[in-house]
Amino acid sequence: VSDFIGDWHALVVLVLAGVIPNQLWRMLGLWLGAELDEGSDLLMWVKAVATAILAGVIAQILVQPPGALAGVPAALRYGALAAGTVAFLLTRRSIFAGVACGEIFMLAGRWWLG
Amino acid sequence: MRLPPLDSPQWNSTFRAFAWGMAATSATILSAVLFVTYIGIGALAHAAQFSMLWAILATVLVWAGPAQIILITTLASGASIVQSAIAVTMTAVRLFPMVVAVLPMMRNEQTKRRHLVLVAHFTAVTLWVECYRFLPHVPREQRVAFIHGLGCGLMTIGLTATIIGYELAANLSQNLAAAILLLTPLAFLFSTARNSRTLADGLSLVLGLVFYPVASLMNSGLDILVSGVVAGTIAYGVHKWRDES
Protein backbone atom coordinates (compact mmCIF):
# COMPACT_ATOMS: atom_id res chain seq x y z
CA VAL A 1 0.00 0.00 0.00
CA SER A 2 2.80 2.44 0.84
CA ASP A 3 4.27 1.83 -2.63
CA PHE A 4 0.95 2.88 -4.08
CA ILE A 5 0.73 6.07 -2.01
CA GLY A 6 4.43 6.87 -2.01
CA ASP A 7 5.87 9.89 -0.29
CA TRP A 8 3.19 12.28 1.07
CA HIS A 9 5.60 15.15 0.54
CA ALA A 10 5.48 14.50 -3.23
CA LEU A 11 1.68 14.78 -3.10
CA VAL A 12 1.94 18.21 -1.45
CA VAL A 13 4.37 19.26 -4.21
CA LEU A 14 1.86 18.02 -6.80
CA VAL A 15 -0.80 20.36 -5.38
CA LEU A 16 1.52 23.36 -4.99
CA ALA A 17 3.47 23.10 -8.25
CA GLY A 18 0.90 21.35 -10.44
CA VAL A 19 -2.73 21.64 -9.40
CA ILE A 20 -2.89 25.27 -8.20
CA PRO A 21 -0.85 26.93 -11.00
CA ASN A 22 -2.91 25.00 -13.54
CA GLN A 23 -6.42 25.46 -12.07
CA LEU A 24 -5.84 29.15 -11.47
CA TRP A 25 -6.42 29.89 -15.17
CA ARG A 26 -9.52 27.74 -15.48
CA MET A 27 -11.13 29.42 -12.48
CA LEU A 28 -10.15 32.87 -13.76
CA GLY A 29 -11.82 31.97 -17.05
CA LEU A 30 -14.92 30.85 -15.15
CA TRP A 31 -14.96 33.99 -13.02
CA LEU A 32 -14.21 36.59 -15.70
CA GLY A 33 -15.61 34.81 -18.73
CA ALA A 34 -19.17 34.39 -17.49
CA GLU A 35 -20.12 37.91 -18.53
CA LEU A 36 -18.86 37.55 -22.10
CA ASP A 37 -21.20 37.13 -25.03
CA GLU A 38 -20.68 34.27 -27.51
CA GLY A 39 -20.26 36.43 -30.59
CA SER A 40 -18.36 39.27 -28.95
CA ASP A 41 -15.17 40.72 -30.44
CA LEU A 42 -13.19 39.99 -27.29
CA LEU A 43 -14.19 36.35 -27.48
CA MET A 44 -13.23 36.13 -31.16
CA TRP A 45 -9.81 37.50 -30.29
CA VAL A 46 -9.44 35.16 -27.32
CA LYS A 47 -10.36 32.19 -29.50
CA ALA A 48 -7.84 33.22 -32.17
CA VAL A 49 -5.12 33.50 -29.51
CA ALA A 50 -6.03 30.11 -27.99
CA THR A 51 -5.83 28.50 -31.44
CA ALA A 52 -2.47 30.15 -32.11
CA ILE A 53 -1.12 29.01 -28.72
CA LEU A 54 -2.17 25.44 -29.52
CA ALA A 55 -0.47 25.76 -32.93
CA GLY A 56 2.62 26.93 -31.03
CA VAL A 57 2.54 23.80 -28.82
CA ILE A 58 2.29 21.66 -32.00
CA ALA A 59 5.30 23.48 -33.49
CA GLN A 60 7.20 23.20 -30.20
CA ILE A 61 6.88 19.41 -30.10
CA LEU A 62 8.29 19.23 -33.65
CA VAL A 63 11.02 21.87 -33.26
CA GLN A 64 12.16 20.99 -29.72
CA PRO A 65 11.03 17.36 -29.51
CA PRO A 66 10.73 15.63 -26.11
CA GLY A 67 12.17 12.22 -25.17
CA ALA A 68 12.37 9.59 -27.87
CA LEU A 69 11.17 11.97 -30.60
CA ALA A 70 14.47 13.85 -30.23
CA GLY A 71 16.17 10.79 -31.76
CA VAL A 72 14.20 11.27 -34.99
CA PRO A 73 16.01 13.49 -37.57
CA ALA A 74 14.41 16.93 -38.07
CA ALA A 75 13.79 16.23 -41.78
CA LEU A 76 11.66 13.22 -40.84
CA ARG A 77 9.65 15.17 -38.24
CA TYR A 78 8.86 18.01 -40.62
CA GLY A 79 8.38 15.54 -43.49
CA ALA A 80 5.80 13.65 -41.41
CA LEU A 81 3.89 16.91 -40.87
CA ALA A 82 4.01 17.68 -44.61
CA ALA A 83 2.98 14.15 -45.65
CA GLY A 84 0.11 14.19 -43.15
CA THR A 85 -1.05 17.61 -44.39
CA VAL A 86 -1.10 16.41 -48.01
CA ALA A 87 -3.13 13.31 -47.04
CA PHE A 88 -5.47 15.44 -44.91
CA LEU A 89 -6.18 17.81 -47.82
CA LEU A 90 -6.47 15.04 -50.46
CA THR A 91 -9.01 13.14 -48.37
CA ARG A 92 -11.16 16.23 -47.85
CA ARG A 93 -10.07 16.75 -44.25
CA SER A 94 -9.86 13.22 -42.83
CA ILE A 95 -8.11 13.45 -39.43
CA PHE A 96 -7.34 9.74 -39.52
CA ALA A 97 -5.72 9.88 -42.99
CA GLY A 98 -3.55 12.81 -41.92
CA VAL A 99 -2.37 11.18 -38.69
CA ALA A 100 -1.82 7.74 -40.29
CA CYS A 101 0.12 9.16 -43.24
CA GLY A 102 2.36 11.28 -40.99
CA GLU A 103 3.11 8.31 -38.72
CA ILE A 104 3.83 5.97 -41.67
CA PHE A 105 6.17 8.57 -43.19
CA MET A 106 8.15 8.88 -39.96
CA LEU A 107 8.34 5.12 -39.28
CA ALA A 108 9.17 4.29 -42.92
CA GLY A 109 11.86 6.96 -42.89
CA ARG A 110 13.44 5.52 -39.75
CA TRP A 111 13.37 2.05 -41.25
CA TRP A 112 14.84 3.27 -44.52
CA LEU A 113 17.61 5.23 -42.79
CA GLY A 114 18.30 2.19 -40.62
CA MET B 1 -22.03 8.44 -34.20
CA ARG B 2 -25.22 10.42 -34.79
CA LEU B 3 -26.81 12.32 -31.92
CA PRO B 4 -30.62 12.40 -31.80
CA PRO B 5 -32.19 15.38 -33.62
CA LEU B 6 -32.49 18.58 -31.58
CA ASP B 7 -36.26 18.19 -31.12
CA SER B 8 -36.09 14.51 -30.08
CA PRO B 9 -37.78 13.65 -26.73
CA GLN B 10 -34.52 11.85 -25.85
CA TRP B 11 -33.10 15.24 -24.91
CA ASN B 12 -35.76 15.74 -22.22
CA SER B 13 -33.79 13.56 -19.81
CA THR B 14 -30.66 15.01 -18.19
CA PHE B 15 -29.40 11.50 -17.54
CA ARG B 16 -29.76 10.62 -21.24
CA ALA B 17 -27.89 13.80 -22.20
CA PHE B 18 -25.08 12.77 -19.82
CA ALA B 19 -25.05 9.28 -21.39
CA TRP B 20 -24.90 10.73 -24.93
CA GLY B 21 -21.93 12.82 -23.77
CA MET B 22 -20.16 9.70 -22.47
CA ALA B 23 -20.96 7.86 -25.71
CA ALA B 24 -19.63 10.74 -27.82
CA THR B 25 -16.10 9.89 -26.63
CA SER B 26 -16.26 6.76 -28.81
CA ALA B 27 -16.85 8.87 -31.93
CA THR B 28 -13.56 10.70 -32.09
CA ILE B 29 -9.97 9.93 -32.97
CA LEU B 30 -9.07 12.41 -30.21
CA SER B 31 -10.07 9.75 -27.64
CA ALA B 32 -7.43 7.49 -29.16
CA VAL B 33 -4.90 10.31 -29.06
CA LEU B 34 -5.81 11.11 -25.46
CA PHE B 35 -5.34 7.45 -24.57
CA VAL B 36 -1.92 7.27 -26.16
CA THR B 37 -0.82 10.64 -24.73
CA TYR B 38 -1.70 9.50 -21.21
CA ILE B 39 0.08 6.17 -21.75
CA GLY B 40 3.16 8.31 -22.28
CA ILE B 41 2.44 10.45 -19.20
CA GLY B 42 1.91 7.38 -17.01
CA ALA B 43 5.18 5.89 -18.22
CA LEU B 44 6.96 9.20 -17.59
CA ALA B 45 5.61 9.36 -14.02
CA HIS B 46 6.93 5.87 -13.31
CA ALA B 47 10.31 6.66 -14.84
CA ALA B 48 10.55 9.74 -12.57
CA GLN B 49 9.78 7.50 -9.56
CA PHE B 50 6.48 9.04 -8.60
CA SER B 51 3.92 6.75 -6.95
CA MET B 52 0.88 5.34 -8.75
CA LEU B 53 -1.41 7.47 -6.53
CA TRP B 54 0.59 10.56 -7.51
CA ALA B 55 0.15 9.74 -11.21
CA ILE B 56 -3.59 9.12 -10.76
CA LEU B 57 -4.15 12.34 -8.77
CA ALA B 58 -2.14 14.34 -11.31
CA THR B 59 -4.39 13.17 -14.14
CA VAL B 60 -7.63 13.79 -12.20
CA LEU B 61 -6.70 17.13 -10.60
CA VAL B 62 -4.47 18.74 -13.24
CA TRP B 63 -6.13 17.25 -16.33
CA ALA B 64 -3.90 18.92 -18.88
CA GLY B 65 -1.31 16.88 -20.79
CA PRO B 66 1.36 19.54 -21.37
CA ALA B 67 1.18 20.74 -17.72
CA GLN B 68 1.59 17.18 -16.44
CA ILE B 69 4.55 16.45 -18.73
CA ILE B 70 6.27 19.67 -17.66
CA LEU B 71 5.53 19.10 -13.96
CA ILE B 72 7.02 15.60 -14.07
CA THR B 73 10.09 16.52 -16.10
CA THR B 74 10.96 19.67 -14.11
CA LEU B 75 10.49 18.04 -10.69
CA ALA B 76 12.47 14.98 -11.83
CA SER B 77 15.32 17.20 -13.00
CA GLY B 78 15.53 18.78 -9.54
CA ALA B 79 13.73 22.08 -10.11
CA SER B 80 12.30 23.87 -7.07
CA ILE B 81 8.56 23.96 -6.41
CA VAL B 82 8.46 27.61 -7.50
CA GLN B 83 10.30 26.94 -10.78
CA SER B 84 7.99 24.02 -11.60
CA ALA B 85 4.92 26.07 -10.69
CA ILE B 86 5.98 28.89 -13.04
CA ALA B 87 6.58 26.48 -15.93
CA VAL B 88 3.23 24.78 -15.31
CA THR B 89 1.31 28.04 -15.07
CA MET B 90 2.82 29.18 -18.40
CA THR B 91 1.38 26.16 -20.20
CA ALA B 92 -1.91 26.60 -18.36
CA VAL B 93 -2.56 30.17 -19.51
CA ARG B 94 -4.03 28.71 -22.70
CA LEU B 95 -6.80 27.16 -20.57
CA PHE B 96 -8.09 30.63 -19.75
CA PRO B 97 -9.24 31.55 -23.30
CA MET B 98 -10.51 27.98 -23.76
CA VAL B 99 -12.75 28.21 -20.69
CA VAL B 100 -13.88 31.70 -21.72
CA ALA B 101 -14.73 30.40 -25.21
CA VAL B 102 -16.45 27.19 -24.07
CA LEU B 103 -18.73 28.52 -21.31
CA PRO B 104 -20.97 30.83 -23.39
CA MET B 105 -21.85 27.85 -25.61
CA MET B 106 -23.69 26.16 -22.75
CA ARG B 107 -25.07 29.04 -20.72
CA ASN B 108 -28.77 29.84 -20.58
CA GLU B 109 -30.86 32.06 -18.30
CA GLN B 110 -30.96 29.49 -15.48
CA THR B 111 -27.25 28.69 -15.47
CA LYS B 112 -25.39 29.68 -12.32
CA ARG B 113 -21.64 29.98 -12.16
CA ARG B 114 -21.40 27.00 -9.78
CA HIS B 115 -23.07 24.79 -12.40
CA LEU B 116 -20.10 25.45 -14.65
CA VAL B 117 -17.25 24.68 -12.20
CA LEU B 118 -16.96 21.07 -13.35
CA VAL B 119 -17.21 22.10 -17.01
CA ALA B 120 -14.30 24.51 -16.42
CA HIS B 121 -12.32 21.71 -14.77
CA PHE B 122 -12.91 19.33 -17.69
CA THR B 123 -11.92 21.99 -20.20
CA ALA B 124 -8.65 21.17 -21.93
CA VAL B 125 -7.79 21.07 -25.58
CA THR B 126 -9.69 17.87 -26.38
CA LEU B 127 -12.94 19.02 -24.80
CA TRP B 128 -12.53 22.48 -26.31
CA VAL B 129 -12.23 21.07 -29.83
CA GLU B 130 -15.13 18.66 -29.28
CA CYS B 131 -17.44 21.39 -27.99
CA TYR B 132 -17.34 23.08 -31.38
CA ARG B 133 -18.13 19.78 -33.07
CA PHE B 134 -20.86 18.36 -30.83
CA LEU B 135 -22.62 21.25 -29.10
CA PRO B 136 -24.44 22.61 -32.19
CA HIS B 137 -26.27 19.24 -32.17
CA VAL B 138 -27.22 19.38 -28.47
CA PRO B 139 -30.13 21.48 -27.16
CA ARG B 140 -28.82 24.38 -25.09
CA GLU B 141 -30.57 23.40 -21.84
CA GLN B 142 -28.88 19.95 -21.86
CA ARG B 143 -25.41 21.07 -22.86
CA VAL B 144 -24.01 21.15 -19.30
CA ALA B 145 -25.16 17.55 -18.70
CA PHE B 146 -23.79 16.50 -22.10
CA ILE B 147 -20.38 18.07 -21.35
CA HIS B 148 -20.33 16.48 -17.87
CA GLY B 149 -20.79 13.14 -19.65
CA LEU B 150 -18.16 13.92 -22.28
CA GLY B 151 -15.72 15.11 -19.61
CA CYS B 152 -16.26 12.02 -17.41
CA GLY B 153 -15.80 9.80 -20.46
CA LEU B 154 -12.58 11.52 -21.52
CA MET B 155 -11.23 11.44 -17.96
CA THR B 156 -11.99 7.71 -17.66
CA ILE B 157 -9.97 7.17 -20.84
CA GLY B 158 -7.09 9.34 -19.57
CA LEU B 159 -7.07 7.67 -16.17
CA THR B 160 -7.11 4.14 -17.59
CA ALA B 161 -4.23 5.06 -19.89
CA THR B 162 -2.24 6.64 -17.03
CA ILE B 163 -2.51 3.39 -15.04
CA ILE B 164 -1.63 1.20 -18.05
CA GLY B 165 1.27 3.48 -19.01
CA TYR B 166 2.59 3.46 -15.44
CA GLU B 167 2.55 -0.34 -15.47
CA LEU B 168 4.07 -0.58 -18.97
CA ALA B 169 6.68 2.00 -18.01
CA ALA B 170 9.75 2.31 -20.11
CA ASN B 171 9.29 -1.03 -21.85
CA LEU B 172 8.54 0.72 -25.15
CA SER B 173 11.08 0.53 -27.99
CA GLN B 174 12.61 3.82 -29.20
CA ASN B 175 10.62 3.74 -32.45
CA LEU B 176 7.32 3.07 -30.73
CA ALA B 177 7.97 5.78 -28.14
CA ALA B 178 8.79 8.30 -30.89
CA ALA B 179 5.65 7.33 -32.80
CA ILE B 180 3.54 7.86 -29.66
CA LEU B 181 5.05 11.31 -29.10
CA LEU B 182 4.44 12.24 -32.77
CA LEU B 183 0.73 11.36 -32.48
CA THR B 184 0.00 14.38 -30.31
CA PRO B 185 1.04 17.17 -32.73
CA LEU B 186 -0.43 15.42 -35.79
CA ALA B 187 -3.82 14.70 -34.24
CA PHE B 188 -4.19 18.14 -32.66
CA LEU B 189 -3.17 19.88 -35.88
CA PHE B 190 -5.63 18.02 -38.11
CA SER B 191 -8.51 18.05 -35.66
CA THR B 192 -8.16 21.80 -35.18
CA ALA B 193 -7.85 22.32 -38.96
CA ARG B 194 -10.97 20.25 -39.50
CA ASN B 195 -12.93 22.43 -37.10
CA SER B 196 -11.69 25.71 -38.59
CA ARG B 197 -14.61 27.53 -40.13
CA THR B 198 -13.73 31.21 -40.27
CA LEU B 199 -10.74 32.96 -41.81
CA ALA B 200 -9.60 33.86 -38.27
CA ASP B 201 -9.56 30.16 -37.28
CA GLY B 202 -7.43 29.02 -40.21
CA LEU B 203 -5.11 32.01 -40.09
CA SER B 204 -4.39 31.74 -36.36
CA LEU B 205 -3.54 28.05 -36.83
CA VAL B 206 -1.11 28.66 -39.70
CA LEU B 207 0.45 31.82 -38.21
CA GLY B 208 0.79 30.13 -34.80
CA LEU B 209 2.70 27.25 -36.41
CA VAL B 210 5.01 29.60 -38.31
CA PHE B 211 5.58 32.15 -35.52
CA TYR B 212 6.54 29.74 -32.73
CA PRO B 213 9.91 28.71 -34.26
CA VAL B 214 10.70 32.43 -34.68
CA ALA B 215 9.62 33.33 -31.14
CA SER B 216 11.56 30.39 -29.71
CA LEU B 217 14.79 32.08 -30.85
CA MET B 218 14.22 34.65 -28.07
CA ASN B 219 14.35 31.79 -25.59
CA SER B 220 12.47 33.87 -23.04
CA GLY B 221 10.41 31.12 -21.42
CA LEU B 222 7.35 33.01 -22.68
CA ASP B 223 7.85 32.01 -26.33
CA ILE B 224 4.55 30.14 -26.66
CA LEU B 225 2.62 33.07 -25.21
CA VAL B 226 4.36 35.67 -27.35
CA SER B 227 3.89 33.79 -30.62
CA GLY B 228 0.29 32.92 -29.71
CA VAL B 229 -0.74 36.47 -28.84
CA VAL B 230 0.98 37.93 -31.93
CA ALA B 231 -0.36 35.29 -34.36
CA GLY B 232 -3.87 35.32 -32.85
CA THR B 233 -4.07 39.13 -32.86
CA ILE B 234 -2.99 39.33 -36.51
CA ALA B 235 -5.51 36.64 -37.50
CA TYR B 236 -8.26 38.47 -35.62
CA GLY B 237 -7.24 41.80 -37.17
CA VAL B 238 -7.28 40.41 -40.71
CA HIS B 239 -10.68 38.84 -40.08
CA LYS B 240 -12.12 42.14 -38.79
CA TRP B 241 -10.56 44.11 -41.64
CA ARG B 242 -12.04 41.71 -44.23
CA ASP B 243 -15.43 41.94 -42.51
CA GLU B 244 -15.48 45.72 -42.69
CA SER B 245 -14.18 46.18 -46.24
CB contact A114 to B (< 8 Å): no
Contact B88, A21 (CB under 8 A): yes
pLDDT at A38: 62
Q: What is the pLDDT of residue B119?
A: 94
Choose among B92, B188, B190: nearest Cβ to A54: B188
* CB atoms B178 and A69 under 8 Å: yes
Distance CA B108, CA B30 (A): 28
Chain B residues within an 8 Å CB radius of A46: 97, 100-101
Per the confidence metrics, is the pTM higher than 0.90? Answer: no
Each residue's pLDDT tens digit, B27-48:
887 898 888 888 878 888 887 7
- Using CB atoms, pick whichever of A23, A58, A84 lies closest to residue B209: A58
pLDDT at residue B117, as a whole number = 93
Q: What is the pLDDT of residues A32-90, one digit of tens each?
A: 876 666 677 877 887 788 788 888 878 888 888 777 788 899 999 999 999 999 999 99
Fill in the DSSP letter of residue A64: S
What pLDDT, on a 0 to 100 scale, did the predictor assign at position B233? 95
**Rounded distance between C-alpha atoms, residue B143 and residue B105, angstroms:** 8
Q: Which residues of chain B have pLDDT under 50?
A: none
pLDDT digits 0-9 by tens, B104-136: 888 888 888 888 999 999 999 889 888 988 999
Mean pLDDT of chain A: 88
Which is nearest to B126 in space by CA: B104, B158, B100, B103? B158
Interchain CB distance below 8 Å, A99 and B183: yes
pLDDT at B156: 97
Complex ipTM value: 0.81
Residues of chain B in contact with residue A87, where contact means CB-CB under 8 angstroms, are none
Report the gap between the CA of A107 and the closest CA in chain B (Å): 7
Query: What distance in Å separates the CA atoms of residue A21 and residue A11, rounded to the nearest whole number?
Result: 15
Q: Output the pLDDT for position A56.
A: 86
Residues A30, B223: C-beta atoms closer than 8 Å: no
The nearest alpha carbon in chain B to A104 belongs to: B179
Distance between alpha carbon B62 and the CA centroid of its chain, in Å? 11
Q: What is the pLDDT of residue A1?
A: 58
Query: Rg (Cα) of chain A, in Å, rounded?
Result: 21
Spell out which residues of chain B touch residue A68, defining contact as CB-CB under 8 Å: 172, 174, 177-178, 180-181
